[in-house]
Structures are given as structure tokens and as C-alpha cells.
Chain A
Amino acid sequence: GAGVSQSPSNKVTEKGKDVELRCDPISGHTALYWYRQSLGQGLEFLIYFQGNSAPDKSGLPSDRFSAERTGGSVSTLTIQRTQQEDSAVYLCASSLVRDRTDTQYFGPGTRLTVL
């Protein structure tokens, strides 16, 4: 079946512009995560959505970052007034979280470059 998809795969923008990154999780998955991976680094947690619960936004680095999940499915990560330090690969993952045994499935990521 289809995995997690993300779009665009690459995004180049100018400093100060807003960007929107999209994540389509696996159908039926209730949990959705956003991570940021800087070059050669580990994954940094950004935000977590689980069902209808309030999202855990504790990883968002500043108020320029926000995310929504519409209808419990597609999610959009928005970065306003982008800065060069926002350049990274943004990864989305989804899971079913049934009996706390299910796997996080990652998308291929969106590579963001801020000039």
C-alpha cells in the first residue's frame, strides 16, 4: 500500500518568505509527527498529533513555526519569515499507535533551502 508522502521534495526559498510543507500520512494512521533533520544530525522533534487530542507543540523552535492537521489526515507545516538556519530536511511520520506497538513510518522528507 501507499506509504507516507511529502511534498514538495525540495523547496528553495528566499530569506523572509513563508513556506508550507505537506504530509500525507498512511490512511487510517491516527498519529502524525514532524521532525527536522539538519545536515549530518539526528532528528529533532517538532510536533505530534494524536487523533482528536490537542497536539504536542513543545518541539517547535519558535512562533514562526506552526502546523495543522485537517480531518485527522493531511498535515501542513508552515514556516513564516524563513531564516537561513531553517534550512534542513523536514520529515513526517505516521503510526497507528494501537496497543503502543505500532511502527512510525517516515516519509522521504522535504529538503528546505533558505537562501
Chain B
Amino acid sequence: QQQVKQSPQSLIVQKGGISIINCAYENTAFDYFPWYQQFPGKGPALLIAIRPDVSEKKEGRFTISFNKSAKQFSLHIMDSQPGDSATYFCAASRNFNKFYFGSGTKLNVKP
């Protein structure tokens, strides 16, 4: 059973637009939900993370919205830039042990 489901698989956004990527999880015991950004040939890098005791976290142009009752969380990239073009992964973990990753979203921001 896939623990974390991510959509869409790919996304094309115009420069200045809002990119939205969604994830849903199964295990209510998860207590840490990070988002990672990966450029070709590089390892993933942490972008922003949230714990289930808050519904939203914002860092610059990046916002996580968290819906505990629906077991869903999403990444919003405001004022998307061509440099944001990358693959984004959501993940979930309990006590920083195993991390379960979504299948990834390839974002293309057109100039």
C-alpha cells in the first residue's frame, strides 16, 4: 500500500503564476511532513516542512497547507519562477525513522 500519494505527476505554470502540488497520506501516526526539491543530477534538498499541529507554514514564496482531518497536505509556490523548475517530492515520517516519499511532480515554469 502506497503510504503517500502525490499529484500531479507533471505541472506547467507560467512565470508569475501559482504552482500547487498535492499529497495525501494514510498513516495518522505520521508527525513530520517535508517537501523536497530535486534538480537533475542532484540529491533532493529540503524546501519546507510542517508538523500536524499547525495548518499552514510559509517561508518566502513557499507555503505548506495541512489538513489533518482529510490527511492531505499541499505545497504552494507563489510567483513561480523559471528557476523553480525541478522535481518536487512530498514525504511523511513518524519520529524521523522511515521516510515515505511521494512519486514526485516535475514542475516546468515557462518564462
Contact = CB atoms under 8 A, between A and B. Distances in A.
Interface of A: 4, 31, 33, 35, 40-45, 48, 50, 56, 58-59, 91, 93, 95, 97, 100, 102-109
Contacts of A4: 43
A42 B103 contact: yes
A100 B42 contact: no
A45 B104 contact: no
Interface string B77-103: 000000000000101000111111111
B26 to A, nearest CB: 15
Q: Closest 10 interchain pairs by CB? A: A106-B43, A43-B101, A42-B103, A42-B101, A103-B46, A97-B96, A42-B104, A106-B44, A45-B98, A100-B96
19 contacts: A31-B96, A33-B99, A35-B101, A41-B103, A42-B6, A42-B101, A42-B102, A42-B104, A43-B44, A43-B91, A45-B99, A56-B97, A91-B44, A100-B31, A103-B49, A104-B99, A105-B46, A106-B43, A109-B43
B111 interface: no
B98 A56 contact: yes
B42 A108 contact: yes
